[in-house]
Amino acid sequence: MDAETLRKFEESLKRCSADPDFLDIFYGNFLGSSPKVREKFSGTDFDRQKDALRASFDTMLLAARDEENGPERYLLPLAERHGSRQLGIGAEYYDLWLDSLLKTVRACDPAFSEDVEKAWENVMGVGISYLCSRYNT
């Protein structure tokens, strides 16, 4: 992925992370997007979950930096966890996830723009495509 897109993503992530409500707003949006999503998280400790998601934005960035080998190198455990044998997260959930995330970035990033939105879509898209492609394995 080009350096400009990666830079835009990283800078926006920093601005979003400066908002203490960023991850609460995201999970509010995501859980509000469908009863099917709420069901998946019915037993979840959200303090732990927010820490996990915060860390995985960096992992998604590593994967996007090296589109050829990065996803396999960094995202395999996450793919196994979300796949059909464990959490059973199919592609339709990732659409809701990404929509909820972009809505959250729009609300939390004071320098939000169309380019910023594209940078999030592109960076997250690499990881999402990989996770979806590993669903059945």
Smallest gap from Cβ 100 to ligand HEM, in A, equals 9
Copy the structure tokens of residue 121. Answer: 């879509």
CB 65 within 8 A of CB 1: yes
Smallest gap from Cβ 79 to ligand HEM, in A, equals 10
Smallest gap from Cβ 94 to ligand HEM, in A, equals 5
Residues at the site binding ligand HEM, with contacts judged by CB under 6 A: 37, 40-41, 43-44, 49, 52-53, 56, 60, 78, 81-82, 87, 89, 93-94, 97, 127-128, 131
Angle between helix axes 114-133 and 3-17 (nearest 10 degrees) is 100
- Report d(CA 70, CA 110) in Å as an integer: 30
What's the full length of the chain, in residues?
137
| For ligand HEM, the closer CB: 62 or 107 | 62
